[in-house]
Amino acid sequence: MKIWSVIFAGIVGATSLLIVGILVNSDETTHENKIRVAYFPNITHAVPIIGMEKGTFANQIGNNTVIEPILFDAGPQVIESIFAGSIDIAYVGPGPAINGFLKSEDHNVKILSGAASGGVSFIVHPNSEIDSVADFGGKRIAAPQIGNTQDISLRNYLSENGLKPAEKGGSVVVLNIPNPDIYTLFAKGDIDAAWVPEPTATILVQQLDGKRLFNEEELWPDNKFASVLLIAREEYVKQNPEVINKWLEAHKQTVDWINSNPEQTRIIFIQFMKKETGKSLSDKLIDESLSNLEITSDPVVSSIHTFAKRADSLGYLGRHGYSLDGIFFDINSNSQSQEVLVNDKT
């Protein structure tokens, strides 16, 4: 437990310092010939991690553009940095991507590609006495930051099964806390379950004897849903179409390479985590995490529409309805695609 706590502390400390520096200094630097990319130190973000570590993005982009990687640990933080103009492209879940699009000025946060499907599980504590959703009443269940993708999925699952969170008069206590705190509270037995992405889900299973009650993909048509997307500021895309085209090509190359080289992917990811935190993860842990995840460029469009409906039903998208018209950017025609979802609210 101590080892993983140190790893999490290192990640959170490093990302917090980076985020503060970004927000404070965003107006003081020039961004010509630079692409600033945000992603998380999670195995679900294997595409940016592997692509950066292997040099695939750098080789494709060329020497004329500097790549500035910036680590975060929550999607809403990334969206705030995009709004501040300190991030150009980012890998985030559909929840923050949708929120960013709807709340950005002129809807200038766009989806460029998918990056991962699945890789999220519901893990129960060994002493929780949870065997099915029928046992959720009175339990304390955690998910990362409110409004993030796992939070939306958890709260929707409760609603579909006739349950409500305590703050809505129900019997289930939903705790929105960072993954490091989820690990700590799970270890202490202070929470009964958690809806979390990889590798946190497998860490709770392998290190803390958690039980994987189900993978979220089991709840979706064809066992597919977007868990990580590549998004960008539309202004940057339009001003740098060649850079973005090269990035997307490297993105696709990395997806193909990961799917053809799982063992090398594991080695690179472990080296990345050791470099960033000073600690190593086991081969077994990363292999199991990868087995619960599909690396893909497919944004699974239907799942993005579904996430938007769910977020709206939870009150996360405001009171006046919403439209996803223009959320997908077609770089090939330098114009928005015609993927549309209009809420049936009037």
The pLDDT tens digits for 226-273 are 999 999 999 999 999 999 999 999 999 999 999 999 999 999 999 999
Please report which confidence band the pLDDT of residue 13 belongs to, taking 50, 70 and 90 as the band edges.
Answer: very low
Cα atoms in the Cβ-side hemisphere of radius 13 Å centred on 198: 29
Q: Is 145 a member of any domain?
A: yes
Residue 119 has pLDDT above 70, yes or no: yes
Same domain, 229 and 325: yes
Lowest mean pLDDT among 98-102, 226-230, 257-261, 274-278: 274-278
Q: For the chain, how many structural domains are there in total?
A: 2
The model's pLDDT over 122-169, given as tens digits with 9 standing for 90+, comes to 999 999 999 999 999 999 999 988 888 999 999 999 999 999 999 999
d(CA 218, CA 116): 15
Same domain, 89 and 233: yes
Segment 81-99 shows an average pLDDT of: 94
Q: What is the mean pLDDT of the chain?
A: 87
Same domain, 196 and 311: no
Residue closest to 91 by CA, chosen among 31, 41, 57, 146: 41
Residue 320 has pLDDT above 90, yes or no: no
Q: Burial level of 13, CB count in 10 A (0-12/13-18/19+)?
A: exposed
CATH number at residue 36: 3.40.190.10
pLDDT at 179 (0 to 100): 83
Cα torsion through 44, 48, 53, 54, rounded to 10: 110
Count CB atoms within 10 A of the CB of residue 103.
13
Domain boundary among 223, 253, 271: 223
Segment 14-31 shows an average pLDDT of: 42
Segment 52-77 shows an average pLDDT of: 92
Domain that holds residue 31: 2-118+224-336
Domain boundary among 223, 251, 268: 223
Domain boundary among 223, 247, 267: 223
pLDDT at 276 (0 to 100): 85
The model's pLDDT over 185-226, given as tens digits with 9 standing for 90+, comes to 999 999 999 999 999 999 999 999 999 999 999 999 999 999
